[in-house]
Amino acid sequence: MINLEVPKKFGALVNQARQAANEIFRPISRKYDNAEHSYPSELDMLAALIDGLNSSGEGGAGAAGDRSNGSAKAKKPTESTVDNGNRNGANLATVLGTIEMCWGDAALLLSMPRQGLGNAAIAAVADDEQQARFGHKWAAMAITEPEFGSDSAAVSTTAALDGDEYVLNGEKIFVTAGERAEAVVVWASLDRSKGRAAIKSFVVEKGTPGFEVVRLEHKLGIRASDTAVLRFTDCRVPKENLLGSPEVDVKRGFAGVMQTFDNTRPLVAAMAVGLARAALDDIERILAEAGVRVDYDKPAHAQHAAAASYLRMLADWEAARLLTMKAAWMADNRTPNSLEASMSKAKAGRSVTDITLQCVQLAGSLGYTEASLLEKWARDAKIMDIFEGTQQIQQLIVARRLLGKSSTELK
């Protein structure tokens, strides 16, 4: 039976992540928000520490997970897995660490070497040989293109097999860590006439001829994280860099590459949960300093209006947190979690935007100036409801799963 309390074995990891967030991220948060596109060199030592934790099997606080626990190879629980009891593995550990680190600063977590969403994709679907080659590289993930946003099936970047290499042509936008990462996981189509089934993911390493960083974007939030436009012009990569099977299975369709999201969407939800918790902690402090006391033993309607608002936000946050932990727990226990991954992403993405904006409002002028981090968190929060699939896309996926409809039946 699932237990959504933090497992005791992850207590040290959670404490270490909170300590890093408080002592490393928070002090430089405003600095790198103002210095957009400047690399936070203070993160190098922390990244090295997390690499050591990952190598030792203790798990880190970033995006890279243990592919042996990944949902890309998920299956329904068997009697043997039930007999072995619940499994609290790398997915849950990473989610818990991500929550704490994003309590410090979400953009700085995204800026950490070897903790990109591309790393989670590699961890989810790479074979042993690919894991050995790419497992220790900082990998971004490139999906979105100028012609489409959330409809990942509309990928127009092509990959044509030529001897022992694939030749990639196309352009990708909004690539997190696109300039700083050592490699990029690129979605491309082997045959556009075969639709979704022909879309595969390829690892393209920096320095590959034909791979160009076109520009960096200026953004509303998460400014410490670089967001790049990438172009591939007759870019040749070894055929061994294709993640997963090269076969185009029309019956299986788009499922292969889409399973990557089963690992990454709970991570984005965890980012939102951590950011929302930071805003809640800060507004609770501000209210207390203003003489507004939150009484957890009284119903909301019997308290100060600001306290009642805080309690409603706290309940919303708790729902998002529990959904996120459930999605990660299911991945660790090799239970298909596509529905829960989208539910957690949809709930957490909406909650963090609502919570941070309400905290800004409750704080008055203090929430709208740079005197506190609330205004920054409100700007950072919006991306949580957009990347890795927008709110509307997540709701569409949830509806399809609940109603048993295909993507062609329910658009």
**302-358, pLDDT tens digit by residue?**
999 999 999 999 999 999 999 999 999 999 998 999 999 999 999 999 999 999 999
Question: Distance (Å, rounded) from C-alpha 318 to C-alpha 69?
Answer: 25
pLDDT of residue 257: 63
Give the active site residue among 171, 212, 388, 409: 388
Q: Which helix (H) or strand (E) holds 228?
A: strand 227-238
Q: What's the pLDDT tens digit per position in 138-188? A: 999 999 999 887 777 789 999 999 999 999 999 999 999 999 999 999 999
Q: Does 367 reside within a domain? A: yes
| Average pLDDT over the chain, rounded to an integer | 89
Q: Domain check: are 15 and 151 in the same one?
A: no
Quick count: other Cβ atoms within 10 Å of Cβ 303? Answer: 18
pLDDT at position 58 over 90: no
pTM: 0.90
pLDDT of residue 255: 57
Q: Domain check: are 115 and 59 in the same one?
A: yes
The domain containing residue 236 runs over which residues?
139-243
Band (pLDDT 50/70/90 cuts) for residue 254 is low
Q: What's the pLDDT tens digit per position in 77-88? A: 443 344 455 788
Domain ends where: 74, 99, 134? 134
Q: Domain check: are 118 and 198 in the same one?
A: no
Higher per-residue confidence, 365 vs 57: 365
Q: Does 250 reside within a domain? A: no
Q: Domain check: are 212 and 268 in the same one?
A: no
Q: Domain check: are 22 and 48 in the same one?
A: yes
Q: Domain check: are 395 and 260 in the same one?
A: yes
Query: If you search the block for the tokens 């022909």, which residue do you land on?
Result: 198
Q: In the chain, how many domains are there?
A: 3
pLDDT at position 411 over 70: yes
Higher per-residue confidence, 79 vs 41: 41
Q: Torsions phi, psi of 354, nearest 5?
A: -65, -45
Q: Does 410 reside within a domain? A: no
Q: Does 24 reside within a domain? A: yes
Residues 6+ apart with CB under 8 A from 255: none
Q: Does 411 reside within a domain? A: no
388 is catalytic: yes
Q: Does 221 reside within a domain? A: yes
